[in-house]
Structures are given as C-alpha cells and as structure tokens.
Structure 1
C-alpha cells in the first residue's frame, strides 16, 4: 500500500512538472536552456491559476515579479531612462494622432520597455532578456540594442561605424560594447537623449539657440518627456565625470576629455544650425509659404540630422557626425532658404522678389549675429 502511494505521488509530481510542456513545448524548450530552469518552476512566475486549456489566465509577470530575485537590478532599471519609455511615447502629440495599427508596430515595440503595469511597476525585462531563456549574455550584446536604437537615433549604427564597432566585428571581446559605457540597467548620460543641459549663459549664441530648440522640441513632444534633461549643470558635470571614468578604463584621461569636448563643440555647431532652421521655418510659416504640418516636417527632419551630428560625434562615427549629421542639416537649411526665396520670386515678381531677398538676407544676418 505504501509503495502504491509513493508511486502515485511520484506520477502526480511528474505530471505537474510536465503539464506546461504539453501545450507550450517551444516555450519549455527555451526555458530549459535558461539557468533559471535549475531552480524555478513555471508557477513561480506565472502562478497556479492557469493549469490547462480553458482555465484562468496566468498571472502577469511584471518587474515586481522579477524583483523577487533581482531586486537590485529592478531598482537600477527604475532609476534609468528606459523605465520612462512608455511615458515619453505617450507625451508625443503625434502618437495620439496616428492610427493604432501604425503605433502598435512602429512605437510600442520599443517604448514598451517602460510599460506601466497595473501594479504600477514600470518596464518589460523581456525587451532585452528575451523569453524564455532570459539570458544576461544575450542582453549584453550590442545587437540586442540595435532593434530600438535605430531610425532617427541610430546609436547602434553609429557605434558599428566607429573604431569600437569595427573592432567588435573583427575581434569581438577586445572591443567595448554598449553596456561598457552605458551600464546595463541604469542608462543615463550627461547630455541625455536630446542633447540639452541647463546653463551656458556665458555663451549667448549657444544658449539662445538651445532655448529655441527646447521650445521647438516641446511643441513636437520629445522635450515633454520626464527626466529628459539634467536639472542642473552640476548634475550634468557629475555624469560627465562618470563617463570620463569609463573612458579611462581604456584611454588616457587627457584623450578622453579632449574627445568628449570635441563632441560638445560639434553639438554647439549643430544647435546653432538647427536654430537657424527653426527661425527660417517659422518665418516661412508666418508669411504663409508653408502650413503648420510642413513646418513640423521641417522641424523633424532638422532634429533627426541634429541627433545624428551630436550622437555621431560622441559615438566617434564620422559617417553620422558629418554625412548624416551636420552636412545633412546644412543642406536642409540651404534648401529651405532657397525654397523661400523662390516663393518670393514666384509670388511677387522680380522687383519685389529682390526686395524679398534683401529682407530674408537681413533676417538671416540678424539671427546669425
């Protein structure tokens, strides 16, 4: 009798352990490759409510679930910018104006890294640690970042175009990767995503240009995102010193400071060019050469090139610092200027057109000085 009871318990245990695999074979195969399979069961994360077809839904796995074992990492993540990804997306006016079919495929897959759950926790750990292997090694690879750090902020391509990326392609382990400089969970940089900081009143040209950019980015949405800019110059300086510490793991301090200052200088030039483009777009809108949607498109194109310029500079990518960045921004600026002049000629005739050119040139000179 005792033997029968033991056999029954044994069979029941095996059945319970294998019941998930019956319906979720591929998921179970993935999980079997995870180190977590050595000490976790499916029910540890998904609960016991779902135990077969037609039963209750499994418990949602949120960062609070992950914090049971990874409290330190979850806390680090919650302090970084990725945890704010969902709020940043919802703060952009055009997100709410676009069809859901577009945003579900074009916005949500990346910004869900900061998804806000019903339990008020933020984040989706499986954005980087994909289900169900949840590999730390996989998440540490630059390729894991490439899916989202693309488009008008192609950090992955910038890095790949740099000496760091070249070394990674050829020798892998010898090269610094994304997390070498940016940590793995608390991803915060001095200049932030938008390349903005307080201060610099001692450089009026740059300061005034930046105020125009902030106003424009607020109207577009990105500058409304939480924690998008450092609150003080002192905070910016602290984060800059953190980056110097990272750089000096491989480079001399003098080299690291010099290269980062070059990035600052490029950002300044890109900001001034962007401010001229903003002024020109606003003038064209004011004299009814363009409508508000076209002005927004000019803003967005200029912003993308500005991103490429300064982000390319800090990632040491000549292609993005120049070709996709400052050069493209300058070409956009010149193209819009020429379009404005052509419109004046077409609308007013040669004499008034010449007067218009003089006025535009004066406006241009005034805003440059």
Structure 2
C-alpha cells in the first residue's frame, strides 16, 4: 500500500478513535445512571455497531437529545424518528417513505371499525392494531379531513401527542443494538405478519422456502443459504419500499377498458350509465398474466362496494380517495405490472422463466376464484338490505360493510367479514407463499363453507320474513 494511503488510513483511525473517546466521555453520565435503571439498554447499545464503530462515534444524545440530565427530568428525553436516522441512512429513509410501511398508521385510521375501538387497541396502548401499524408515520391528512388531493402531512402535530411509537425504523432494527443482520432475518417480520388475517410467517415457515431456511441453520441467500427470505422477495437489493403487485388485500383497480366491457354487457340503462361514468375515472391499460374479464370486473366492483370504496351506484366514495388513491390499497395496471415483473425477476434467480410465469398465473387464478365466491355472498347480503330484511345500523354511512369488521351486528354479516379478512386472505396469500395447506384448508375450504352458510342463511331470513 502506498505510504500516503497508509498515512490516511492511520489518520482516519486516530480521528475515529478520538471521536469515540469524546462520545464515550459525553455518554458516561447516561451510562452510569442507566446501568442501574435500564442495564439491558446500555448493553444492547454498546454491543451494536452504532455503539462500537470507531468511525461513527454516537452517544445517547444523538437520538435522545441532551436536555435530560437527572432522574427527575426524564420526560425531557426526546425519542428518535426516521429524521434522526436520515443523517446517516438517507437513501433507506427515502425508500421507506416512498413505500407502504410509511402509510401503515394512516391506512389503519381509514378503517371504519377503528373508531369504535378503545385507545388501548388503536392508540398509544399499542396492544392491537396500533402495535404493528405504528411503523407508519403519524399525521397524514387524507380524504376524511376533506383532502381529496395528494396525501398531506401535519408536520408532526399528531406525533407530538404520542411519547412512544414514532421511531418506525425500530420495528425491524430493534432497540438498542439496531443490527442489520437482525432486520434481515425472517423472524423480524413475524411479529406483525402472522395470525388471523395475514399469517405470512406461518405460511413461509410451512413452505419449502421456510423449511430450507430452517434446515440451513436460519441462513438465507445473504448468508450462504439456499432459500430466499421475506427480505429477498419483498426487499430486493435492500430496497425499503416493501411493495408487492397484489398488495395486502389483493385489490387492484378495474381499468377503463374492463369497466367499458362490463357496461356493454348489461341491459339495465341506469347501471350502464353508472358504469360508463365510472370508467372515465379509471386508469387505462391491461394487467399482465391475467387481466380482468367481465365477470371478474363485476366481482371486484362488488368487493369495492362492501369496502365502502364504491357506492351503491358504483361511483367512488370519499373512501375511494382515502384508501385507494392515498393509502394505496389497490393497484392500477402500471404499478401492478412493474411490481409483478420485479418479483418475477427475483424468482428467476432460482427458477426458470416458464416455471415462474406458470406459478404466478395459477396464483392469480386463485385470487379470481376466491373473488367470485366472495361476490356471491356479497350479492346475497346486499339483496337483504335492498329488500328491507336487513336495516342499516344507526350512524353507518354504508352497509353491508366489511370495513366495520367485528362491529357488524348480524351473524350473516359477521360471516361476510370473516370471508374477507380471514379466509380470502389465507386463500390468496397461501397460494403466493407456496403454503398449500394454508391455501386450501385454512383458506379456500372455510371460504366456500362460509359462502354456503351465507346463501343458506339469506334464504332462511327471506322465508322468515314471509311468515
């Protein structure tokens, strides 16, 4: 190595060590106290890279400020946000803010059922929905507040009402070691992506991918193992966007062409006019692999209705802007196709193009089949409302509504919600995660069962009404 370069290396090392020494000196008061109060936190930080890297001398004040100096004034300690991380990780923070996790808190607040929940579940109690959705930034202002344009941010007003839960990055890079290797482990995702409506962790671990990862000693591709991890497929190249073509709910917007074909197929003049009006508002284009046909377009429109996204005349509600345009719960063809090709490219690192194409096509067909079964149940319940057998609950703007979750008041509507949030979810997610038992016995089978229950219950209720 040239002498000048060697000198530069030594100078950098000395400067780094000097900076570390100064950081540790300023950190010493915190360490002395917190070794007694929170010893685990001190140990975690000093074993992590940010606490040991000589070239990156950080101390407690970097994230928590310097106002807190005594045991009594602990409330003066600030808590980090992604802005804190931005100084060193600008590219990752920018990717994160362009992705779906950034919108998680806002997406939670768009759900009608949320407003009936206690704060321990949806607020700073962080024991239910909010416990995972706090990965999203607080303070986004959407259609509910009269904003039908681009999503706006309140500049930190809502976040200021919460002492905890604004860090976001620590959902995966957990305190206080913040290890990259930990965030690259599929188990980092399992805290949120499991259970009732999205058991991706269970699906992954019961698939050949997850089994191989476990057999290889929990080593993914980045560690010399054979199997892809969650991060391999959903964060290619370390991209923090974390987006997929179908998205969380397997919703995608019907295109202008899809709805025009549906309009041309109906005889009812009023319905035809409403569909033609809707078509003018939708993006133009076609979905790769499996585009919507006339029946699937109708099925999908019915699903959007019970999500309070389209009204009874198939026109966009305010929730269309709130959920679809701003929370990005449904994809248009351009975004869908881009994300689909990106995922296929990842799969083709191990599998042939023909195999990958066939795999995705068959998984798309599963979505289509599940949507059609669900649409049958939707039409049955909508018919009960239309004929006055079911009455819209007081204070509800739309009914039937799966967005009301378990706040629905009748068994038949609770079954409708279960189909949407549990069985349909498991059907399509199991198909894409190569978990056959989840796809069939935890998804498709109970989906079919509950559709038949709804159809039978609707007939019973009609017969009861005639007596």
Q: TM-score, normalised by structure 2?
A: 0.67
Q: Which residue of 2 aligns with 1:129?
A: 173
Q: Does the aligned pair in 2 maintain the 1:161–1:317 contact within 8 Å? A: yes
Q: Distance in 1 between matches of 2:191 and 2:388?
A: 40
Question: Counterpart of 2:76 in 1: which secondary structure?
Answer: coil
Q: Which residue of 1 aligns with 2:137?
A: 115
Q: Which residue of 1 aligns with 2:433?
A: 315
In the superposition, relative to structure 1, how do residues 339 and 277 fare at CA in structure 2: closer, same or farther (>3 Å)?
A: same
Verify: 1:79 aligned to 2:66, yes or no.
no
Q: Which residue of 2 aligns with 1:193?
A: 248
Q: Does the aligned pair in 2 maintain the 1:216–1:299 contact within 8 Å? A: no
Q: Distance in 2 between matches of 1:101 and 1:234?
A: 39
Q: Distance in 1 between matches of 2:442 and 2:173?
A: 31
Match of 1:235 among 335, 339, 344: 335
Question: Counterpart of 2:308 in 1: which secondary structure?
Answer: helix
Q: Which residue of 2 aligns with 1:152?
A: 197
In the superposition, relative to structure 1, how do residues 288 and 143 fare at CA in structure 2: closer, same or farther (>3 Å)?
A: farther
Aligned residues: 338
Which is richer in helix?
1
Gapped runs of 5+ residues in structure 1?
A: 1-11, 350-369
Q: Which residue of 2 aligns with 1:50?
A: 68
Q: TM-score, normalised by structure 1?
A: 0.84
In the superposition, relative to structure 1, how do residues 291 and 176 fare at CA in structure 2: closer, same or farther (>3 Å)?
A: farther
Verify: 1:179 aligned to 2:231, yes or no.
yes
Q: Distance in 1 between matches of 2:62 and 2:365?
A: 52
Within a 5 Å distance, the mapping from 1:161-172 to structure 2 comes to 161-171=206-216, 172=218
Verify: 1:265 aligned to 2:365, yes or no.
yes
Q: Which residue of 1 aligns with 2:459?
A: 341
Larger displacement relative to structure 2 (340-349 or 273-282): 340-349
Question: Counterpart of 2:247 in 1: which secondary structure?
Answer: coil
Q: Does the aligned pair in 2 maintain the 1:116–1:123 contact within 8 Å? A: no
In the superposition, relative to structure 1, how do residues 341 and 255 fare at CA in structure 2: closer, same or farther (>3 Å)?
A: same
Q: Distance in 2 between matches of 1:13 and 1:84?
A: 35
Deviation by residue 1:294-339 (Cα, 9 ceiling, x = unmatched): 2542332111211111111111111221112121111001111222
Output the aligned Cα RMSD: 2.5
Q: Which residue of 2 aligns with 1:3?
A: none
Deviation by residue 1:271-308 (Cα, 9 ceiling, x = unmatched): 11111111112223444555552254233211121111
Q: Does the aligned pair in 2 maintain the 1:214–1:223 contact within 8 Å? A: no
Gapped runs of 5+ residues in structure 2?
A: 1-21, 140-153, 160-165, 220-225, 259-291, 311-318, 393-407
Q: Distance in 2 between matches of 1:163 and 1:339?
A: 40
Deviation by residue 1:7-50 (Cα, 9 ceiling, x = unmatched): xxxxx997643211233222111101111002211112211111
Question: Counterpart of 2:134 in 1: which secondary structure?
Answer: helix
Q: Which residue of 1 aligns with 2:146?
A: none
Match of 1:302 among 419, 440, 445: 419
In the superposition, relative to structure 1, how do residues 265 and 289 fare at CA in structure 2: closer, same or farther (>3 Å)?
A: same
In the superposition, relative to structure 1, how do residues 14 and 31 fare at CA in structure 2: closer, same or farther (>3 Å)?
A: closer
Q: Does the aligned pair in 1 maintain the 2:79–2:167 contact within 8 Å? A: no
Verify: 1:68 aligned to 2:87, yes or no.
yes
Q: Distance in 2 between matches of 1:170 and 1:261?
A: 29
Q: Distance in 2 between matches of 1:146 and 1:197?
A: 26
Q: Which residue of 1 aligns with 2:351?
A: 251
Q: Distance in 2 between matches of 1:102 and 1:59?
A: 24
Question: Counterpart of 1:24 in 2: which secondary structure?
Answer: helix
Question: Counterpart of 2:460 in 1: which secondary structure?
Answer: helix
Larger displacement relative to structure 2 (259-268 or 156-165): 156-165
Q: Distance in 2 between matches of 1:123 and 1:114?
A: 9
